[in-house]
Amino acid sequence: DVVFAQGSLINAPFSFTKRECAAILPHLKPGGRWIELAYPRERWVRDGQPPFRAWGSMTDGEGTPWVEWYDLARVLRRLDPAKFEPILAMNFHGDDFNWFDLVKVE
């Protein structure tokens, strides 16, 4: 089992995507992988810490209503109460992007 989210969970507020994740997580078996690509906090800071409703246009172009940054702690908090161990959690391309590869342990 794998969930692959390539920049799809960054385009809505944390509280909304937490509910979306809660609906998906029961279908992911222990040992399943959660792979997610996002934008790191470092990029948001470099871009001047704009409101998330404005940052979407800066990162993904006009018409993008929202973008939030993520780090490992925020991803794990969004997936809570499910428990995951990171296989990989890294920024890349000069802190423009980040990649999380997590394994479900419960």
Rounded CA-CA distance 94/76 in Å is 23
What three-state secondary structure class fits 30? coil
User: What does DSSP assign to residue 43?
Assistant: H
What pTM was estimated for this model as a whole? 0.94
Q: How far from the centroid of its chain's Cα atoms is residue 16's Cα?
A: 12
Element (H, E) at 96: none
Which residue is associated with the tokens 């006009």?
A: 62
Residue-wise pLDDT for 50-104, tens only, equals: 999 999 999 999 999 999 999 999 999 999 999 999 999 999 999 999 999 999 9
**Pairing status of strand 97-104 against strand 2-6:** unpaired
pLDDT band for position 106 (cuts 50, 70, 90): confident
